[in-house]
Amino acid sequence: MTEGVILVAKIVGYGDPLTIKLDKILGYKNEPGMDVLTVLAEYGIEPKFPQEVMDQVEKIPMEVREEDKKGRRDYTDRVVVTIDGEDAKDLDDAISLKKVDGKYHLQVHIADVSHYVRAYTPIDKEAEHRTTSVYVVDRVVPMLPQALSNGVCSLHPNVLRLTLTCDMVVNPNGSVDTYEIVPSFIKSNYRMTYSNVNKILDHDPQVTKQYEEVKDLFFLMKEAADAIRTRREGMGSINFETVESKFKVDENGKVLSISARTQDDAELIIEDFMVLANETVARHMKWLEIPSLYRVHEIPDKVKLQEFSKILMPFGEKLRGDLSHIQPGVLQKLLTKFEGRPAFHVISTVLLRSMQKAKYDPKCIGHFGLALKEYLHFTSPIRRYPDLIVHRMLRKYHFNLPDENARIEDEKGMQTYALETSFGERNAVEAEREVENMKKAEFMMDHIGEIHWGIISAVTRFGFFVSLENTVEGLVHIQNLTDDYYEFDARLHSLRGSRTHRTFILGQKLKIKVSGASKEKKTVDFLLAEEVKRKSTVPAHKGGVASGRKNRIR
């Protein structure tokens, strides 16, 4: 075997030496993209699909046939648009909207993956195993083969597509007056991007002219979404404004730039519509007692909230009342006090880490962060297996005559699905974070010696982490604070100098110098700019580079 080849092996016997069995050869260490493939392999994420899955895909019609349209509502007479990122190819959702007698008639059309992916088939078993699509810096590892995820299931413009539609009449106060959930088919008229919709809403003349026929629709969407969000905020929904990283890479996977991904009106519009559809379907399935997977988020742990309250003390804030029965609106009001302050995103992130992790559950126990009594995932069946399960249960117990003999087995199955999909989601998130950490460290290796402003994002006994504007986070080690002897105050989560009383706390803005980075260790090291003359090297540390993640609490 040639030196430098990366292998995947399984331990088949313990002893001295270990007995291992070669599973597969990934490739040579220095090949482009091999670094990402190695991380994916560590988490058991396989980019290629088994041959039996691909054989089944070959048998699936790639166009909607006349027979597929039977029993479905025809929405092809509506103006239907998709709004996604520029690079998105798996288009799960589409929107149609009009205003009648002061009410918003909103249709959220979701790709009917369940029509093509039937239970217990090779494609279904592989999708269940994968649980979710995995989005890493330079690629997507899809849950479904591309012929489905980017093809016949994806809601591309000007082609017939099969969908499930949550058809809602929304009051001006943002609540749902009436609704229907129906199998349907659509033909999307416009493939819009977040960028272009935001430009239209900002009255950009060139983009507005390009979409002259449909431009008013997006202002109506914003009006409806504002009403929906206002209602949810009134119920106490927490707006966690965490920062997601945006990478620009070349054809070899080398990172050219990193920036903070912005979330403007178009992104919020789609989020509001999807959350409302998810809530509506959850309520429907709950009251009809249809076996289902709910997206649940439990009340925060009292001890973690007490720790969070201590972090607030240097800012003159604290959590009041019984933390065992805290309401989400209390936490949202607290976040509002930090808006416009340098510490806002840091406090929002720390609060998110103090929450319970959202997960899947057969019981509808509510979503604390969204302040909703009923919630599930209905809107992304191309990339999330729980959504596919929800669609399948709707088909079985709502669209068709229910088979009551199967209900008990399905209810038992939801228990297994909940555990599997919650674990699979966590595994995907950890893999995505690991790749981001590695790529951020690799990127910063080319920027050693640069001076930047940053915000303290975490304080520990061995130093503090500083987050830069581009979302990269690095450690200022306590050994490199040479102007004093610093002690960690666990109560206030701060470092305090014993002689000068100088204090480093969360949210503090300061200037740093990039002093080191390691792709292998996935770490970045900083010095305080004022310490550069005193010391020029920083020891490696065991922490990782924190990365801005998508808010998966929802």
CB of 268 closer than 8 Å to CB of 226: no
pLDDT of residue 133: 97
Q: Are 195 and 83 in contact (CB under 8 A)?
A: no
CB 472 within 8 A of CB 443: yes
Q: Tell me, what's the pLDDT at 176?
A: 98
Query: Which residues, other chains included, contact 140 with Cβ-Cβ below 8 Å and sequence gap of 6+?
Result: 90, 133, 134
* Tens digits of residue pLDDT in 9-61: 777 788 778 888 777 777 777 788 889 999 999 999 999 999 999 999 999 99
424-434 burial string, b = 16+ CB within 10 Å, else e? bbebbbebbbb
φ/ψ of 213, rounded to 5, equals -65, -25
Determine contact, residues 360/418, Cβ cutoff 8 Å.
yes
* Alpha carbon separation from 87 to 46, 193, 201 (Å, rounded): 22, 9, 21
User: What does the domain layout of the chain look like in residue ranges?
Assistant: 5-31, 35-298+359-440, 302-354, 445-531
Residue 534 CA to residue 529 CA, distance in Å, equals 10
- How far apart are alpha carbons 407 and 351 in whole angstroms? 39
Series of mean pLDDT values for 10-residue runs along the chain (554 residues): 73 80 74 90 95 97 96 97 94 97 98 97 98 94 97 97 98 97 98 97 97 97 98 93 89 93 94 98 97 97 92 87 91 91 88 93 97 98 98 95 87 96 97 97 97 95 96 96 93 91 93 96 94 48 37 58
Reported as a single tens digit per residue, the pLDDT across 65-108 is 999 999 999 999 999 999 999 989 999 999 999 999 999 999 99
Is residue 299 classed exposed, middle or buried when 0-12, 13-18 and 19+ CB atoms within 10 A define those classes? middle
Beta-carbon contacts of 28 under 8 Å, excluding residues fewer than 6 positions away, are: 2, 4, 5, 6, 34
Q: Under 8 Å CB-to-CB from 33, ≥6 apart: which residues?
A: 138, 139, 252, 253
Question: What pLDDT is recorded for position 531?
Answer: 66
Q: How confident is the model at residue 374, as a pLDDT?
A: 98
CA dist., res. 299 & res. 324, Å (int): 8
Residue 60 φ/ψ region, left for φ over 0, alpha for ψ in the -120 to 50 degree band, beta for the rest: beta
The secondary structure of 369-394 as a DSSP string is TTTBSS----S-TTTBHHHHHHHHHH
In terms of C-beta density within 10 A (0-12 exposed, 13-18 middle, 19 or more buried), how is residue 246 classed?
Answer: middle
Tell me, what's the pLDDT at 546? 34
Beta-bridge mates of residue 96: 107
Which strands, in side-by-side order, build the sheet including 93-100? 73-74, 176-187, 160-170, 103-111, 93-100, 81-84, 190-193
Say what the pLDDT of residue 268 is.
96
> Is the four-CA dihedral 431, 437, 440, 445 of positive or negative sign?
negative
Rg (CA), the chain: 25
How many C-beta neighbours within 10 Å does residue 55 have?
Answer: 11
- 36, 134 Cβ separation under 8 angstroms: no
- Which CATH fold would you assign to the domain 445-531? OB fold (Dihydrolipoamide Acetyltransferase, E2P) (2.40.50)
- Going 260 to 265 to 270 to 275, the CA torsion angle's sign is positive
pLDDT at 543: 37
What tens digit of pLDDT does each residue of 106-159 get?
999 999 999 999 999 999 999 999 999 999 998 999 999 999 999 999 999 999
| Separation CA 180–CA 399 (nearest Å) | 11
Q: E strands of 469-534, at which residues?
A: 473-477, 486-489, 494-497, 503-504, 509-518, 523-528
Structural contact between residues 90 and 359, judged by C-beta atoms closer than 8 angstroms: no
**Torsion angle of alpha carbons 43, 44, 47, 48, nearest 10°?**
170
C-alpha distances in angstroms, 186 versus 17, 150, 239, 262?
A: 61, 17, 33, 30
Nearest-10 Cα torsion for 121, 125, 131, 133? -60
Tokens 């009410």 identify what position?
103
User: What burial class does residue 439 get, using C-beta atoms within 10 Å of its C-beta: 0-12 exposed, 13-18 middle, 19+ buried?
Assistant: buried
Rounded Cα distance between 195 and 212, Å, is 16
How would DSSP label each residue in 396-412?
IIIIS---HHHHHHHHH
Cis peptide before 402 (omega within 30 of 0): no
| Cα 181 from Cα 459, distance rounded (Å) | 49
